[in-house]
Structure 1
């Protein structure tokens, strides 16, 4: 049918352009943020590309939903301004008739949003958590750039290495300055190597000396050693033991329905329901007056999108805190949005039927 094919073609073209623009803007902002984390020592420089990819995938459901929303608003808004909608309405096509071709165009995107929310979202959060955990668990030796003085994570030691191996576990000409509550020490060695024993990480120094001073008594101690072990990290544990709910698979959340897990489930299901509701809301909110060139409806629609997604986050917090059940949160948040979308379409269709009935009564 001409109506369906024309609308679907315009929607697909507008959606493609919108996705490119939104992805470019969001990826640029994410890149700046990720580079800032790497520059601030919160992420490894070699992991910047991976973190950027994981972050982009995590936010892709929201970006796709926003792109669909803007594309529908833009396409239908143009049809209102060009009086195409008036022609279709005069031909007997109601606003609710637009739902079918719009859903036929957007269902692949809605399917992608569902897969991203249920499967990809927990996976990318898990990978990001593991990367950050791996960075935090780095040995003090691997944090040091050859030829530079750098402090340890707790700030009690300063390290200097003349050169080290590519994997950051071996170093030569190691210098360590340590400061405790009542003492200071300077340790130098010809070699240094990071080793793990009994789930503890040690820095094993070889062929060196240690000079220690007691600040209370001013007593100095000089000792030489062939081998000296220094613990350089907390006890190692499985990084999967402390994964947050957002990094756990959907099946894992279902198998252990704690309030925190149910809150995360409400968030994931909410992304899917919100994407569908935003399609319907866009149809109802796209109405414009062709005689007045105003963008207030688009601004109001974007504010609606922001408020809606903030309500999803709020409902997750309510469920996680045990203040509301998951079913109730989904029904209140997304049921209300669905009713609003249906009301907007019904109101516009009813407003157009009244003049026709009045004209029919006169004749």
Structure 2
């Protein structure tokens, strides 16, 4: 089985390379979005990397499926381009003979995809949501990004801190604007720090600054210089919202099933099934004529994957909306792709032509 060992070795290298490239792309996209959220104060700066890790873990099943799909296409297409496949075919190997080593290589990764889909990915979504809500329940200064004007949750106060070292740390060049009874109050200070009063309330202490108070549009303002000024930092609403359905444990999905839970359960079950189908689809798609072009099968593979992925999303939405019965689920999409795989295998192996001649 020389061809199987050579084939698996090449698949290992290609799958790892493709996975790292896809992981770098998704991480770059996510970190740009999270940094934008941190810059606007919607996400704490120290939470960016942790949130990125949870998000990457959530997308691992899709990345692994795509990595294997692309690696198989590249490996077998290269064999055709370099005329190696002609040698194997002249030795008696057919298209179906490549299914067994392909599935043998993919089995450990398929098991990992199943574990991720049913357990680890929901755990990552659940932990990410819990961590996000924990940060949102903290006081307003927890979400202040240095150098960014941040409005309070009640929309009656604006903070600006040039440099901020975090909880219980010091701050420099502080600006606070508030509005009360139709009057604007501006407080500025070069130094400040976070503290707590006797009742346990968090306060922002400003030192050696000025306060300007007056009505908008009026030229009369009261200016007060102070050595110590305290600003109460109100805590945010600590009420936790419901966890997203993507983070619900699989065991809990099986209890009191509704349309939304049926849709999520069908998606988790369809993740490893789809990975198996993509692995099998890549084999017949890779068998092309050298004169047909090097990238024709890759374009066709991308098109089929996009249609398949979009149809799964549409069917999942229909299940959640009650338009498709849960028993039907995502099976029509999977069965359609499975039928396409058998047709392509028959075409590549010449069996379809034999069936027509026999008929």
TM norm structure 1: 0.79
Q: Which residue in the other structure is 2:282 paired with? A: 282
In structure 2, do the counterparts of structure 1 residues 332 and 181 end up closer, same or farther at CA, with 3 Å as the change threshold? farther
Work out the CA distance in 2 between the residues paired with 1:148 and 1:100.
58
In structure 2, do the counterparts of structure 1 residues 195 and 336 end up closer, same or farther at CA, with 3 Å as the change threshold? farther
Contact 1:174 1:192 in 2 (8 A): no
Work out the CA distance in 1 between the residues paired with 2:262 and 2:164.
47
Work out the CA distance in 1 between the residues paired with 2:17 and 2:312.
27
The alpha carbon displacement at 1:72 in A equals 0.7
Work out the CA distance in 1 between the residues paired with 2:172 and 2:82.
74
Work out the CA distance in 1 between the residues paired with 2:162 and 2:3.
73
Matches within 5 A, 1:1-363: 1-144=1-144, 150-159=150-159, 166-168=166-168, 177-179=177-179, 182=182, 184=184, 193=195, 203=202, 232-237=234-239, 239=240, 242-350=242-350, 354=354
Work out the CA distance in 2 between the residues paired with 1:179 and 1:277.
61
The alpha carbon displacement at 1:315 in A equals 1.8
Work out the CA distance in 2 between the residues paired with 1:314 and 1:67.
23
Work out the CA distance in 2 between the residues paired with 1:205 and 1:349.
75
Please, which moves more after superposition, 15-24 or 246-255?
A: 15-24
For residues 165-195 of structure 1, the C-alpha deviation after alignment (integer angstroms, 9 at most, x for no partner) is 8425999999754325755557899987568
In structure 2, do the counterparts of structure 1 residues 143 and 15 end up closer, same or farther at CA, with 3 Å as the change threshold? closer
Contact 2:139 2:236 in 1 (8 A): no
Contact 1:110 1:275 in 2 (8 A): yes
Work out the CA distance in 1 between the residues paired with 2:162 and 2:345.
71
For residues 199-224 of structure 1, the C-alpha deviation after alignment (integer angstroms, 9 at most, x for no partner) is xx95568999x998799xxxx99xxx
Corresponding residue SS for 1:270: helix
In structure 2, do the counterparts of structure 1 residues 55 and 205 end up closer, same or farther at CA, with 3 Å as the change threshold? closer
TM norm structure 2: 0.80
Corresponding residue SS for 1:178: strand
Corresponding residue SS for 1:325: coil
The alpha carbon displacement at 1:252 in A equals 1.6
Contact 1:81 1:288 in 2 (8 A): no
Work out the CA distance in 1 between the residues paired with 2:96 and 2:78.
18
Work out the CA distance in 2 between the residues paired with 1:82 and 1:186.
74
Corresponding residue SS for 1:257: coil
Let me know the Cα RMSD of the aligned residues: 4.0
The alpha carbon displacement at 1:270 in A equals 1.6
Contact 2:167 2:194 in 1 (8 A): no
Contact 2:347 2:353 in 1 (8 A): no
The alpha carbon displacement at 1:282 in A equals 0.5
The alpha carbon displacement at 1:158 in A equals 2.5
Corresponding residue SS for 1:42: coil
Corresponding residue SS for 2:178: strand
The alpha carbon displacement at 1:151 in A equals 2.8
Please, which moves more after superposition, 79-88 or 312-321?
A: 79-88
Work out the CA distance in 2 between the residues paired with 1:97 and 1:176.
72
Work out the CA distance in 2 between the residues paired with 1:119 and 1:276.
19
Work out the CA distance in 2 between the residues paired with 1:137 and 1:296.
53
Corresponding residue SS for 2:327: helix
Work out the CA distance in 1 between the residues paired with 2:204 and 2:78.
72
In structure 2, do the counterparts of structure 1 residues 34 and 143 end up closer, same or farther at CA, with 3 Å as the change threshold? closer
In structure 2, do the counterparts of structure 1 residues 50 and 141 end up closer, same or farther at CA, with 3 Å as the change threshold? closer
Work out the CA distance in 2 between the residues paired with 1:290 and 1:188.
73
Size of the alignment, in residue pairs?
Answer: 350
Work out the CA distance in 2 between the residues paired with 1:60 and 1:249.
17
In structure 2, do the counterparts of structure 1 residues 148 and 194 end up closer, same or farther at CA, with 3 Å as the change threshold? farther
Work out the CA distance in 1 between the residues paired with 2:272 and 2:6.
27
The alpha carbon displacement at 1:344 in A equals 0.9
